[in-house]
A = this chain, B = another copy of it.
Amino acid sequence: MSPNEPPAVSTSDQTAADGNLLTASCPIPITDYKEIVLAHGSGGELSHRLISKIILPQFTNELLAPMHDGAIFSLGNERLAFSTDSYVVSPIFFPGGDIGKMAVHGTVNDLSMCGARPLYLSVGFILEEGLPMEDFWRIVQSMRAAADEAGVQLVTGDTKVVDRGNADKIFINTAGIGVVPKDVNIHPARAQAGDKIIISGPIAVHGIAIMSVREGLEFETEIASDTASLNGLVQDILKACSDVHVLRDPTRGGVTSVMTEIAQSANVGILLQEAAVPISEEVKGACEILGLDPLYVANEGKLIAVVAPDDAEAALAAMRNHSLGGEAAVIGEVVSDHPGFVVMRTRVGGTRVVDMLSGEQLPRIC
């Protein structure tokens, strides 16, 4: 079938898996979702479904298959990581950051989560007609400052303008290239029973910072986004440990969505200790007001490391010695029970299964 012909309507959930892709019909049962909904961008269950049913079957190859934060491949005598993210956060300026800063941090972090040393970024701007020139200029300045701080270079770019009403002020895509050191082998599927799970600091800060602005909430202390480039922190962790198994930044979908992805990738169980998860009083209070579970709220300047038990102490110490990891904590471990599932031991002593975000908690968080 030519791509310009409309596909036949199908209610089958399985056609994409049959290998005969160009003759298959639209593999998401359109009786369920005939249209894109916000939750397809949540980082949770519907995002995964969209990716696994529509995108992966067409793009599948040995590099994309790992569902990592980026692709890793060899070119010449180097192993490279390559990653991309688009940023559509609203508002474009918020306490602690702006869309430009996030666009640099985010791709630097995706590369870092592959264990790579980020080097070069590309930038694609989509501007809405009417964007104040000074806003654009502030954003570009902010990207430069973030790139300088992370030690990366913005080397190539593109600017498109769309007519008023067909975008929302500014969207930014960044893609990045980094070099993966020879002895580093970081991958979601490497989590194994016994590994310790360490988070670099208090959770849910970015999501609550954005939500507070949108809802006009005021707290005694302003909650500012934790957006930051984590490549320095990652370098310190890699230096301190003999073998880091997994690194992930719990952005869209929060800690539980990322943990579930790892549990599924590695086919292991994960046991989290609710009481061990660091969270500030302000953020906890805001989550209560807004009716949000902080474990599903997006973070920007935090990472989760999964390391062998022998490495746990060194990893924790390395994080705590870094300015972005002062409140790092061991929050759980990988277990051989309940493979594919994340179980939380609650403060009161019970356990509950936690899952990926199933709807759209907070659109346009990043």
Chain A interface residues (CB < 8 Å from chain B): 3-4, 6-7, 9, 21-22, 26-28, 30, 33-41, 47, 50-51, 54-55, 58-59, 61, 63-64, 70-71, 73, 75-78, 80, 82-88, 90, 93, 98, 100-101, 119-120, 122-134, 136-145, 147, 153-163, 165-168, 171, 173, 175, 177, 179, 360, 363-364, 366
> Bound state CA distance, A360 and B137, in angstroms?
21
Are the CB atoms of B54 and A140 closer together than 8 Å? yes
Contact of A130 among B35, B41, B88 (CB under 8 A): B35
User: In the complex, what residues of B have CB within 8 A of residue A124's CB?
Assistant: 84-86, 124, 173, 175
19 interchain pairs (CB within 8 A)?
A: A3-B141, A4-B98, A27-B137, A28-B137, A33-B133, A34-B132, A37-B161, A38-B161, A40-B159, A41-B160, A50-B159, A63-B155, A64-B154, A82-B122, A82-B155, A84-B158, A84-B173, A163-B364, A166-B168
Contact of A133 among B34, B61, B119, B123 (CB under 8 A): B34
Are the CB atoms of B156 and A71 closer together than 8 Å? yes
Contact of A93 among B4, B26, B61, B142 (CB under 8 A): B4
Are the CB atoms of A134 and B173 closer together than 8 Å? no
User: In the complex, what residues of B have CB within 8 A of residue A160's CB?
Assistant: 41, 86-88, 364, 366
Q: Which residue of B lies closest to A89 (CB)?
A: B160
Are the CB atoms of A26 and B134 closer together than 8 Å? yes
Are the CB atoms of B75 and A179 closer together than 8 Å? yes
Q: Which residue of B lies closest to A162 (CB)?
A: B88
> Bound state CA distance, A299 and B282, in angstroms?
55
**Contact A155:B41 (CB < 8 A) given known A36-B161, A54-B140, A86-B124:** no
**Contact A82:B177 (CB < 8 A) given known A36-B130, A120-B73:** yes
Contact of A77 among B7, B76, B98, B125 (CB under 8 A): B76
User: In the complex, what residues of B have CB within 8 A of residue A85's CB?
Assistant: 124, 158
Q: Distance in Å from the Cβ of A120 to the closest Cβ of chain B?
A: 6
Most buried by B among A77, A120, A366: A120
Are the CB atoms of A136 and B58 closer together than 8 Å? no
> Bound state CA distance, A360 and B129, in angstroms?
12
Are the CB atoms of B141 and A58 closer together than 8 Å? yes
**Contact A153:B61 (CB < 8 A) given known A134-B26, A161-B363, A173-B86:** yes
User: In the complex, what residues of B have CB within 8 A of residue A138's CB?
Assistant: 3-4, 6-7
**Contact A159:B63 (CB < 8 A) given known A76-B75, A84-B123:** no
> Bound state CA distance, A64 and B121, in angstroms?
11
> Bound state CA distance, A40 and B130, in angstroms?
11
User: In the complex, what residues of B have CB within 8 A of residue A51's CB?
Assistant: 159
**Contact A41:B4 (CB < 8 A) given known A75-B78, A167-B167:** no
Q: Which residue of B lies closest to A70 (CB)?
A: B156
Are the CB atoms of A134 and B36 closer together than 8 Å? no
> Bound state CA distance, A3 and B136, in angstroms?
11
Q: Which residue of B lies closest to A3 (CB)?
A: B142
User: In the complex, what residues of B have CB within 8 A of residue A130's CB?
Assistant: 35-36
Q: Which residue of B lies closest to A97 (CB)?
A: B4
User: In the complex, what residues of B have CB within 8 A of residue A134's CB?
Assistant: 6-7, 9, 26, 30, 34
Are the CB atoms of B36 and A131 closer together than 8 Å? yes
